[in-house]
Each structure stands twice: as C-alpha cells, then as structure tokens.
Amino acid sequence: MHATISPSRVKGTTRAPPSKSYTHRAILAAGYSDSATVKNALVSADTKATMRSVGAFGGSVERDGQTIDVEGFDGRPDTPDNVIDCANSGTTMRLVTACAGLGEGLTVLTGDDSLRSRPQGPLLDAVSDLDGRAESTRRNGQAPLVVGDGMRGGTVEIPGDVSSQYISALLMAGAVTDEGIDIELTTELKSAPYVEITLELLAEYGVEATMTDDGFSVEGGQSYHPTGGEYDVPGDFSSISYLLAAGAAAGEDGESVVVEGARPSAQGDSAIVDIVRDMGADVAWDEDAGELTVSVADLSGTTVDVGDTPDLLPTIAALGAIADGDTVIENCEHVRFKETDRVTAMAEELSKMDAHVTEERDRLTIHGGQTDLVGADVDGRGDHRIVMALTIAGLVADGETTIAGSEHVDVSFPNFFESMAALGADVSEN
C-alpha cells in the first residue's frame, strides 16, 4: 500500500497505542506461567508472532480485543509440531530462541527476508554455552535457527552492543532453569532501558532478576505469577514520539495536541519528551494522568546520543529536517541492525525530500538550516518506524509526499494513519 500526505496542521486529543516491547514480554511471561491475563495489549503483526509462539510451545492464547488470556506451558515449552514463523519480529525471534533452548526437543525458527538477515549469533553461542543446542541452518548466525536440547543454565559471556534483546531473552528463560543464569557482558551495553523494561516486567510477574557489577543475574527455579493473575501494558513511547513530533512540527497555531496513555515506565524512549523540549517545543507532562500536551514551535537543531534509544532515530531525523540548524544523532551504529538499516534509510529518504544529510558509520547529521522539505515519492523500506517518521516530514513538506509500504505501520501502531487523520492530517492510503 501507499500513503499520501499533504501539508497539514494538527490539533486535538489522541491516545498512544500500548507498548510493543512490554506486550511481547508480557505474552511470553504469561506463557512461562501456568496462566495469566494480559490487559491493554498491543495487537499487531509483531505481537501476534509472539502469541503464535506461545501456542506452538503448548500454551493456549485467547484474545478478546486488547485482552489476552493465556494458559501457559508452566516453564517448560513443548516441542512445536511445526516451524515457528516469527515473520518480521526480531523481538519475537530473540525472546523465543532462549525459550526454545529450554525444550527437550528441537524448535525451528524462521522469519521473512528482513528477519533472516539480522544477527542472532551471540545468542546462539550463549544458548550453546549453557548446555543447549543452537545453530543457524546456514551457519551464518542468521535464521533459520534450530534450538533446543534442554538448556540448564550457568554462567555465560555475551556482547552488549549488538542487541539488548539477547540479555532479555536469557533473563526470561533463566528464571525457570535449574541453575539460573549469570550474564557477563563483554562490551558496553547498548539500549540498556530495554533490559530495564524486562527487569520491571519480571518483577511484576513475581520473578527476581538483578543487575550485577559485570552484567545481570537471575536465579533458577522461579515461577511466573503476576499479582492477581493479570498484567496491564503501559502506553508506547516509541509510538508517542511520532504524535509529539507531529504536534511540535505541524501543530495548529494557538492549539495543542494531547497524547493520552503516557504514564511513566522504564521505557528509555520517554527521552523523546526532553528531546522535543530541547528543540524548542512547549511540552507539558501530567504524569499522574498520563497526558502529554505539545504545541507547535520554531524548532532548533540539537545533538542526541541514541545509544540507549535506537528506535527514536527516525523521529529525531525527521524533526531535524524540519528544524533550523544542525541536528546530530550520535552513537547510532547499532541502529543499522533493525528491520532495515535505519541510518541509511533516513539519510536516503529524507534526501529525496531535498534534506541535506551527512551520513557516517556512527553518526547522522541533518542540516536543517540548508533544508526546505519538498514532497516526494519515498520508500518506507518495509519498516514501520521509517514510514511513520516520513509521515511527520510530509506534514510540513511543500507538496504531496507518497510513502510506499505504508501497511507496515501494523507492526507497532496499526491505527497510525487513522490517528493522524483524526488530528486533522491530510492523509490517505491506497
């Protein structure tokens, strides 16, 4: 599908979708339990992949709207009857890889072309070092994967600068091993807030895991039991970033955009609130009510380190193309290993809209002072975050912007275009 965006002004109240990161973890944690209910879940292409995985491991998943009732496999996954297709969901594949390592039999994991190109090697090595079996069928550290043979736990070394999801996967699985797992990081941890999300959610499910001097540790022999048998998913700050950006860059004069569902949590992407403020926007956050209010402003460039917030790079890049002066996005090499190489994708697609951009391996600079955005035909690269960020740029570009692959917003924000239209944006899909 294609989405066409015309210059628009936005105002009004909208609601953030539930967090994709929390929903993935909550569904799998419910699978590790004997039973649990996940409320206010994000139901999207990615989280459906995690639901299918829980079912493949012997659990039962029933959904009523955004409420998901799970009869779990109680800590020990069955051997699936068939291959588990993780589609485009990297989070599913990594969390499920460690889970599959617990099984006595073997699980085969695969995904789409993009997912089969993403690195899994360090996690496979870790599962093997913990007495499980974990192999890439093509012997290149990428899916399809074969995993199983009853991972028992122990001590393992793993790099922290490729994907924090490796650590989250091992912590979740380690709680139900006999020995527990001690994780020693061999490099600096990138995207650390995502591990904090995991630790927060594990605590909500009654599982204790801790940070240590050189990594993380989780004791074995634990059980997953959320208080009252339920877990409520918070709003998603990665998705909130596009709504805040729309209000700051394309808000109607004298009006505001109000985003509901923004209650505080461990999400590192809540940094978008301060980033937008630093660029000059007026943002008020009522944390008790979970409401953000943003008004349009003349934005100025800023410098942002995205080492812990890789998913914000597309949003910041789009705002940089709208702002005056240079916006410098630093420490971003790991953002190249997402659904697509998001550093190159934003550099090339914004350039089609006449943005002036300098791309380096670990840095992206958008020269806003030299940029007057114009509408263009751009490619969402099969990546939900690229599509949504380019939509923000399209709101203020001169002329129509058409984005190929608009359907990929279903990964994390299925009603994104409907939400934008409700705020007054001139958007259409065909």
142 among annotated binding-site residues: no
Is 295 marked within a binding site?
no
Nearest to 315 by CA among 273, 262, 259, 261: 273
138-165 burial: b if 16+ Cβ within 10 Å, else e? eeebbbebbbbbbbbbbebebbbbbbbb
Q: Is 342 within any annotated ligand binding site? A: yes
Q: Is 191 annotated as a binding residue?
A: yes
Residue 338 annotated as binding? yes
94 labeled part of a ligand binding site: no
Annotated binding residue at 39?
Answer: no
User: Among all chains, which residue has been given the structure tokens 């990546």?
Assistant: 383
Rg of the chain over all Cα atoms, to the nearest angstrom: 21
53 annotated as ligand-binding: no
Residues 6+ apart with CB under 8 A from 385: 238, 311, 314, 315, 338, 339, 342, 412
Closest-CA residue to 314 (of 409, 402, 250): 409
Instruction: Compute CA distances 117 → 49, 88, 120, 228, 362, whole Å.
Output: 18, 11, 9, 40, 20
21 is in an annotated binding site: yes
Q: How far is CA 72 from CA 32, 81, 225, 341, in A?
A: 6, 17, 11, 36
User: What is the maximum span of the chain, computed from C-alpha positions, in angstroms?
Assistant: 62
Nearest residue to 280 via CA among 309, 249, 304? 249
Q: How far, in whole angstroms, is CA 100 from its chain's centroid?
A: 22
Residue whose C-alpha is closest to residue 35's, from 233, 232, 234, 230: 230
State yes or no: 90 annotated in a binding site.
Answer: yes
Instruction: Supply the residues annotated as catalytic.
Output: 311
Q: Is 20 labeled as ligand-binding?
A: yes
Whose tokens are 């100025």? That residue is 300
Enumerate the known binding-site residues. Answer: 20-21, 25, 90, 118, 163-165, 191, 311, 338, 342, 385
Enumerate the known binding-site residues for phosphoenolpyruvate. Answer: 20, 90, 118, 165, 342, 385
Enumerate the known binding-site residues for 3-phosphoshikimate. Answer: 20-21, 25, 163-165, 191, 311, 338
